[in-house]
Amino acid sequence: MAKDDFKFRGYELRELQKMNMDEFADLLDARKRRTIKRGLSERQTKLLKKIRRNDYVKTQERDMIVVPEMVGKTIGVYNGQEYTDVEIVPEMIGHYLGEFTYNRSRVQHSAPGLGATRSSKYIPLK
């Protein structure tokens, strides 16, 4: 599928990029529409300005909504430990940046240690 074939709620990518924020907000679901209508935070507005200037930006704004002008850019999204590079593609429009980086690692437990249970208290140590 080419970039021109992508459609979001019946609109092609070029049409989405020409829309202003209020028109785009009307296409989103309720929570994201409310966020945009009430105004983005100062940090999110600053991030949008940086994205317009640069191709690569690092951010900790995991709750930033992916808007059409971000498509094609690479954003380093902080996951609590490091910045993970996320290449923004048209299918990501309308999602949060934090959805594309994992911030929790899978826990792998090993065998229980000495003293972990009452019965292991009586195991002789060599």
Exposed/middle/buried for 76, CB within 10 Å: 0-12, 13-18, 19+?
middle
CATH number at residue 90: 3.30.860.10
Asked if 56 and 73 touch (Cβ cutoff 8 Å), the reply is yes
How far is residue 107's CA from residue 111's CA, in Å, rounded to a whole number? 13
| Cα 35 to the center of its chain, rounded Å | 15
Residue 118 resides in a domain: no
Residue 114 resides in a domain: no
* Residue 111 confidence (pLDDT): 76
* Residue 113 confidence (pLDDT): 72
Could you tell me the residue range of the domain that residue 79 belongs to? 3-101
Residue 48 resides in a domain: yes
* Residue 122 confidence (pLDDT): 65
* Residue 120 confidence (pLDDT): 65
Residue 34 resides in a domain: yes
Local confidence pLDDT in tens for the 126 residues of the chain: 555 588 999 999 999 999 999 999 999 999 999 999 999 999 999 999 999 999 899 999 999 999 999 999 999 999 999 999 999 999 999 999 999 999 888 888 877 777 677 776 666 666
Task: Return the amino acid letter for 10.
Answer: G
* Residue 121 confidence (pLDDT): 65
Residue 120 resides in a domain: no
Residue 109 resides in a domain: no
DSSP H helical segments within the chain, as ranges? Answer: 13-18, 21-25, 30-37, 42-53
Exposed/middle/buried for 33, CB within 10 Å: 0-12, 13-18, 19+?
middle
Tokens of 46: 């600053």
Q: How many domains does the chain have?
A: 1
